[in-house]
């Protein structure tokens, strides 16, 4: 039985629900729903266990707030004895256009506080990340409002398609490995 830790990044609290910064939570919700799973509150995170094609996915949404995401990541990785290579962190990315997603096995935190904390806890940036492009269409000085803002109604259909694609990529990551899943994910463009 192969075991994977899937980490969706976001902030707890209704005011953050379905914001750009919480897309990691939204993707994980869709993935768990697709597999008829459910989240329960546990230590440092909401946790769901999903089984698919002989694989077990431990899905966590940290309840630590974004800048302490590493604490939940490390706790569940160690508790479930999951190799770092079998983890996947889903995160919003300002540097990626809204119509793109990017899967990588390594890479910097790019100023993202959730990734920064995970990197600090792991002592490396070599852990797989699925970056969900949120674009950067905001006026100077309005980055925080943009990131913590809700999707525009015109963006919703595109975001819904990307979320569905991300649930497929999580499965592919587990089924065929990082390299093949990267080829699939990184060539996708959504309109």
Helix (H, G, I), strand (E, B) or coil at 27: helix
**Distance in angstroms between the alpha carbons of the first and the last residue of the chain:** 37
Active site residue 18: no
Residues in the chain: 191
C-beta neighbour count of 184 within 10 angstroms: 15
Torsion of CA 173, 177, 183, 186, to 10 degrees: 30
Q: Cα angle at 168 between 118 and 153, to 5 degrees?
A: 85
21, 35, 99, 112: the active-site residue = 21
Q: What is the DSSP string of 114-179?
A: HHHHHHHHHT-S-S-EEEEE------TT-HHHHHTSBPPGGGHHHHHHHHHHHHHHHHHHHHH-HH
Q: What is the C-alpha to C-alpha distance for residues 139 and 123, in angstroms, rounded to an integer?
A: 35
Q: Catalytic positions, please?
A: 21
């Amino acid at each position: 039985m192969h075991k994977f830790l899937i980490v969706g990044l976001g902030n707890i609290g209704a005011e953050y629900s379905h914001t750009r910064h919480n897309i990691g939570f939204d993707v994980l919700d869709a993935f768990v729903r697709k597999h008829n799973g459910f989240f329960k509150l546990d230590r440092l995170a909401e946790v769901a266990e999903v089984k698919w094609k002989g694989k077990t996915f431990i899905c966590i949404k940290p309840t630590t707030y974004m800048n302490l995401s590493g604490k939940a990541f490390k706790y569940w990785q160690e508790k479930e004895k999951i190799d770092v290579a079998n983890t996947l962190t889903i995160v919003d990315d300002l540097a990626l256009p809204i119509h793109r997603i990017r899967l990588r096995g390594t890479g910097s935190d790019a100023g993202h506080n959730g990734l920064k904390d995970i990197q600090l806890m792991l002592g490396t940036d070599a852990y797989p990340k699925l970056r969900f492009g949120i674009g950067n269409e905001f006026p100077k000085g309005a980055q925080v409002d943009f990131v913590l803002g809700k999707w525009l109604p015109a963006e919703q259909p595109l975001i819904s398609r990307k979320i569905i694609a991300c649930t497929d990529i999580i499965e592919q990551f587990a089924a065929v490995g990082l390299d093949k899943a990267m080829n699939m994910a990184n060539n996708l463009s959504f309109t």
